A = this chain, B = another copy of it.
Amino acid sequence: MKKLLLASTSTLYGQSYLEYLLPQLNDFFSHATTITFIPYARPGGISHDAYTELVATAFSKIDKKVVGLHDFEDPLEGIAHAEALFTGGGNTFLLVQQLHNLELMQPLRDKINHGTPYLGTSAGSNIAGPSMKTTNDMPIVHPPTFMTLGVVNFNLNPHYLDPDPNSTHKGETRETRIREFHQLNTTPVIGLREGNYILVNGNQSTLKGTGTARIFEAGKSPYESSQIPNF
């Protein structure tokens, strides 16, 4: 049975990396001793090694080992033998370009569909949906396609931000951007605020964390929900 934990952010303000998720991750990864980490999104441009070290430090607190997928000579082998998977945040364009160039999208999809637990934060959550078209990131590289894993039937907008009623800035709000997406696409979008995450068990998705999520469906007004609708 498919098992995913899709978080808006890896880190809450004033906390250490993954800190707020560790109790939940202890349970989520209870059957795994080693987590295979996909570091390709390189937040702030850090190296694969440095990123993997950061992740290993966090997971050592719940006695899990971490191996970086970049450390396998053949990353396909790394995925095939993974007990558990984690894709960290950073730049979604870079992450998706790497996964496509290395032809890992389909093996990763199959692995998740066969029940290997998958954790995503930010960009790593973005790629669980049918496309990366609702990322907030800058297009610093050109992936051959924006199609992603599609292991859930909705797109995510991580780090979701409500419009600031006092703002004088004229750049688009997150809501305007998602409305533009729905002029040309029909996939539902979950605006997932920091502190929230989605637990997926088979075909059942549950919203966890604090407060509601903002749900966007094509042709409807956006609305707040404490549940993930059955789209």
> Within the complex, which residue of B43, B158, B177 is in contact with A137, where a contact is CB–CB below 8 Å?
B177
A28 touches B (CB below 8 Å): no
Closest B residue by C-beta to A41: B180
* In the complex, chain B residues whose CB is within 8 Å of the CB of A194: 169-171
Q: B136 and A171: CB pair below 8 A?
A: yes
With a CB–CB cut-off of 8 A, which chain B residues contact A99? none
When all copies of this chain in the complex are counted, the total is 2
Select A45's contact among B139, B168, B183, beta carbons within 8 Å. Answer: B183
- Contact A139/B145 with A170-B9, A170-B159 known, Cβ cut-off 8 Å: no
Given contacts A136-B172, A138-B177, 14 further A-B contacts (CB under 8 A): A13-B169, A13-B170, A42-B180, A44-B176, A45-B179, A93-B139, A94-B180, A133-B140, A135-B138, A136-B138, A136-B171, A137-B172, A139-B139, A161-B171
Give residues in A with beta carbon < 8 Å to B: 9-14, 42-45, 90-91, 93-94, 132-142, 145-146, 158-159, 161, 168-172, 176-185, 194
Question: Can you list 9 A-B pairs with a CB-CB distance of less than 8 A?
Answer: A9-B170, A12-B170, A45-B183, A134-B138, A136-B172, A140-B180, A140-B184, A159-B169, A159-B171
